[in-house]
Amino acid sequence: MINPQVTIRSKEAVSKTMLLTELQAINETNKSYFGSPARDIQFKEDLQPNLTNISLTLNVEHIDYDKIDELIEPDLRTACKDIRLKKDIENIDNLVNTFKVSSDDLNGFSDRKNILQNYMQKKFGNDYPKYEKVLKELKLL
């Protein structure tokens, strides 16, 4: 195995079978990346990785190590070298669309002011007036 660090995003408890399936998918991806006539890298077929070498990162909605048994099966938790929880960023597409600005919207400096003003109103809601005051003092609005 090239990289013994694996990240899994799952809504159900991660099992040994799920991890081995993920490792197999990683191995197949590695084969496609490194397989070419210019390189002569041999991959072992049906490789059973030693789980004690695996560092497993679980992307979860809420980081709570007290509830780790709900996220990963206990036998796998004890078998892996390291288990980490990482906050999952859901709806990344929505986040990207929030910050996506069309070049048509940027015709002049006043358009940029409108974009900043709209963003600040969305981000800070009722607290917007105090931020607007600061932006006006800085002559950004």
Radius of gyration of the chain (CA): 24
Mean pLDDT of all residues belonging to the chain: 81
Measured CA to CA, the distance from residue 115 to residue 102 in angstroms comes to 11
Q: Where are the beta strands (DSSP E) in the chain?
A: 5-9, 55-60, 82-87
Q: Please name which of 21, 9, 4 lies closest in space to residue 72, comparing C-alpha atoms.
A: 9
27-60 pLDDT, tens digit each:
888 777 777 777 777 777 766 788 888 899 998 8
119-137 pLDDT, tens digit each:
888 888 888 898 889 888 8
Quick one: tokens of 98? 């929030």
Q: State the pLDDT at residue 50.
A: 84
Flag whether the pTM goes above 0.95.
no
56: how many CB neighbours lie within 10 A of its CB? Answer: 23
> Which residues have a Cβ under 8 Å from the Cβ of 10 and sit 6 or more positions away?
18, 58
For the chain, the structural domain boundaries read 5-87, 92-137
Q: State the pLDDT at residue 3.
A: 63
